Structure 1
Amino acid sequence: MMSDPEESVRLQGFGEMTLRTAIATVMLLAPRERADAAIFRVRDGVRLAASEIAELASEWGIAPAAEIRSPRLVPDPHWSDVVRSMVREAPLPSLMVAFLIGVLVTRR
């Protein structure tokens, strides 16, 4: 079935939007929630099948979100990486103050 990406649909729990936006929203959901999601066409009230949603998503290049991993399975960051990222994001005046405090502390 040919579908217009700008067609008006209703995504259950999210409201009315375009078909492309609804499919992109569904693909961002977790797999269990994605299976329960329902998209209804506004013009005739017909519910899109899960296979049709998956087919349109692949046709339009919308990939499903990656599997969400348990925080216990994610490796702990190394402290050097943490400090490096903090320094990269810090503004220059705060870096200068931190350096001066470090000099004062080490001289004591």
Structure 2
Amino acid sequence: MTSDPEELVRLQGYGEMTLRTAIATWMALEPRDRSSTAVFRIRDGERLASGEIAELASDWGIESTGEIRSRARETDRRWPEIVRGMVREAPLPALMVAFLAGVVVARR
């Protein structure tokens, strides 16, 4: 099926846009995020297969970049750094109280 690059589609989690924009956005996602993101045609609600998206991307010269990251994953990666910084700067008595409070909460 031939596809018009200006056809309106819905990219799951990103909203409505042209097919070319949706494919460029989809190709910029990390591979593990691509599997959970779908492209739907607005005119008939049909979901485009990932193979069809990859084929259209290669026809239109869109390369995979994998630069767009999920915000949830970015914050998950930052938490260890935040906690490490808090522990590094905290005085020892405060750390002991926090540890004991954690033990009490965990036992309940």
Q: TM-score when scaled to structure 2?
A: 0.60
* Shift of residue 37, structure 1, vs aligned partner: 1.4
* Shift of residue 5, structure 1, vs aligned partner: 0.1
Task: Find the counterpart in structure 2 of residue 29 from structure 1.
Answer: 29
Gap regions ≥5 residues in structure 2: 68-108
Task: Find the counterpart in structure 2 of residue 56 from structure 1.
Answer: 56
Q: Compared with structure 1, are the counterparts of its residues 17 and 58 closer, same or farther at alpha carbon in structure 2 (3 Å cutoff)? A: same
Deviating above 3 A after TM superposition, structure 1's stretches of 4 or more consecutive aligned residues are none
Q: TM-score when scaled to structure 1?
A: 0.60
Q: For the residues of structure 2 that align with 1:28 and 1:66, how far apart are their CA atoms?
A: 4
Gap regions ≥5 residues in structure 1: 68-108
Q: For the residues of structure 2 that align with 1:35 and 1:57, how far apart are their CA atoms?
A: 16
* Shift of residue 35, structure 1, vs aligned partner: 2.0
* Shift of residue 17, structure 1, vs aligned partner: 0.2
Fraction of identical pairs, as percent: 70
Q: For the residues of structure 2 that align with 1:25 and 1:32, how far apart are their CA atoms?
A: 14
Task: Find the counterpart in structure 2 of residue 105 from structure 1.
Answer: none
Amino acid at match of 2:30: A
**Residue-pair matches, total:** 68
Amino acid at match of 2:5: P
Q: Compared with structure 1, are the counterparts of its residues 44 and 66 closer, same or farther at alpha carbon in structure 2 (3 Å cutoff)? A: closer
